Amino acid sequence: MDRRLVDIRHPDCKTKIYPKKLPKASVIIIFCNEAPSGLLRTVHSVVNRSPPEYLHEVVLVDDNSDRPELQEPLEKNISTSWPDGIVKLVRSPKRLGLIRAKILGAKESTGEVLVFLDAHCEANDYWLEPILARIQEKPNVVLCPAVDLIDDKNMEYSRNGGISVGGFTWSLHFTWRSVPEKEKKIRKSDADPVRSPTMAGGLLAVGRDFFFHIGAYDPGMFTWGGENLELSFRTWMCGGELEFLPCSRVGHIFRAAHPYKFDHSDSHGYNSKRLAEVWMDEYKRLFYNHRSDLRNSDAGNFTDRIELRKKLNCKSFKWYLDNVFPEQFIIDENSQAYGMVRLFSVRNPESNLCLDTLSRNHKVDPYIGVFPCSGGLSHNQMFALSQINELRMEEVCADVVGERGARVKLMDCHELRGNQLWNYNRDTKQLKHASGWCLDVGGMKMNDNIKLNDCSAAGSQKWEFEHVLKFI
Ligand SMILES: *[C@@H]1O[C@H](CO)[C@@H](O)[C@H](O)[C@H]1NC(C)=O
Ligand SMILES: *[C@@H]1O[C@H](CO)[C@@H](O)[C@H](O)[C@H]1NC(C)=O
């Protein structure tokens, strides 16, 4: 419970001096059927590694756990371990889900700064001072500490290398992105805060007043999922900023499964639809391109959230994309052509085979092939010819080594052209790779992989894009 950790901060963090007078923090930890050892280790680390003058309280919110060790034994354990009452326990009589439990925890807290942690974390040395100093300096900031890795098998603590920022896919999942060049130029040291378009969501700190001013969390959201992007967009659009703080380090156990049940079959989809409807303006079309199943689904009543946006006079989603996240790829604005890429046949212009990911997980089996065209309904067929001539799908690009018969796979876009460069010829309809070979589907059958081949007039090399914006 009280083990020592190595101080793995960047050397520049160790020489930073923070003001003596800082606001005090309430650390809020939500749990539901969490393993008691992991939960208590989180609390011990917070109490041990926060200077007492800056720790107002630790608020544990029990989201209706039924595990017996978390009932009376937990209360006894807390009152024995911390007889001074610094650790408080709030129990919800019914299951709220993580998002609403966080709202409850914030309402029950009285510190000037709210710090949300997952229930399986370990705060490292000097984790709190950088957070409090930054919020004192910038009251409208939402901060994320750097998250290190704790191995769920042997509890080994290791540094999470490299600094990244947060992004998102149009299906509204969080992604990691490399730090943009413009941000690298502003920062003098790897110890400086870095602005991020989005956050992962579990670990964050925010001034209590600012948190409630911008509308806390959406109480209409179920269980889990989407709330991190909702808070990210809202923060930026409504006058705040979101930053990652490399000098504040917290370990996190990455585990294989959730110990609790979900009260909604697709809470991520439901919550994301609320987010798209309230915050994304006309760009919600890109979400529905990926989640056409949700176009007509119910997402509850979100009138209050639309009112909130009006009341706070928040900026548009276009402003957010232009100013906060200009790196985000917008398929129907930043491409030459996009949509289904159909195999063209003279005899049958509406041929029915299209480029397709074949629903493969591009991290495991990244090869693309052809499949009957979906009529624009499947995001597996949403490709773009980008302005720098990539054959691109969100953040992954068609990539291939230049040799005859090489199969084409999806890899992270590197924007360096090379093996990701494709030239489209509108007359011959060929997609010609940088190496001089052409994109070809051998057997012209469903599920066939596509390969590079000698360029020829063969029908297996003629491709047409569904929507053309402007060929360069
Ligand atoms: C509290 O629980 C932890 C984890 O189960 C245990 O290691 C510790 O001894 C308990 N402390 C008290 C005072 O009961
Ligand atoms: C939605 O919520 C608003 C505000 O709480 C309320 O005025 C309105 O009647 C609700 N609409 C429906 C259809 O329930």
Is residue 256 predicted with pLDDT exceeding 70? no
Instruction: Write out the CATH class of domain 11-253.
Output: alpha beta
Determine the 3-state secondary structure of 161 from DSSP: coil
How high is the pLDDT of residue 264? 65
The atom number, within ligand 2, closest to the CA of 307 reads 4
**pLDDT confidence band for 349 (50 / 70 / 90):** low
Confidence of residue 37 (pLDDT cuts 50, 70, 90): very high
Same topology between domain 11-253 and domain 335-468: no
pTM to 2 decimals? 0.92
Judge whether residue 260 has pLDDT over 70: no
Q: What share of the chain is helix, strand, coil (3-state, %, to 5)?
A: 25, 25, 45
Query: Which bin fits 358, alpha (ψ -120 to 50), beta or left (φ > 0)?
Result: left
DSSP string, 414-438: -SS-GGG-EEE-TTT--EEETTS-E
Q: Where exactly are the structural domains of the chain? A: 11-253, 335-468
Q: What is the pLDDT of residue 38?
A: 94
Ligand 1 atom with the shortest distance to the CA of 1: 7
**What's the pLDDT at 66?**
95
Average pLDDT over residues 348-355: 77
Residues with CB under 6 A from ligand 2: 301, 303-304
Ligand 2 centroid vs 302 CA: distance in angstroms? 8
pLDDT given at position 240:
98
Which residue lies with its CA nearest to atom 3 of ligand 1?
Answer: 37
> pLDDT by residue (tens digit) across 136-150?
999 999 999 999 999
As given in the structure block, the two tokens for residue 70 are 């978390």
Tell me the pLDDT of the chain averaged across its residues.
Answer: 93
Q: How large is the average pLDDT for residues 87-108? A: 97
- Quick check: 262 pLDDT over 60? no
The two tokens of residue 162 are: 């490299």
Q: Read off the pLDDT of residues 301-314 as tens digits, 9 standing for 90 and up.
A: 999 999 999 999 99
**pLDDT tens, position by position, 397-440:** 999 999 999 999 999 999 999 999 999 999 999 999 999 999 99
**Minimum CA distance residue for ligand 2 atom 10:** 301
Name the least confident of 117-121, 195-199, 230-234, 456-460. Answer: 456-460
Q: What is the pLDDT of residue 358?
A: 86
Question: Could you tell which of 278, 301, 311 is best to mutate to test the pocket of ligand 2, judged by most ligand atoms within 8 Å of the CB?
Answer: 301
Among the bound ligands, the one closest to the CA of 35:
1
Give 335-468's CATH code, choosing from 2.80.10.50, 3.90.550.10, 3.40.640.10, 1.20.1260.60: 2.80.10.50
From the CA of 304, the nearest ligand is 2
The C-alpha atoms of residue 124 and residue 115 are separated, in whole angstroms, by 14
pLDDT at 351 over 80: no
Ligand nearest to the CA of 41: 1
pLDDT tens figures, 321-333: 999 999 999 999 9
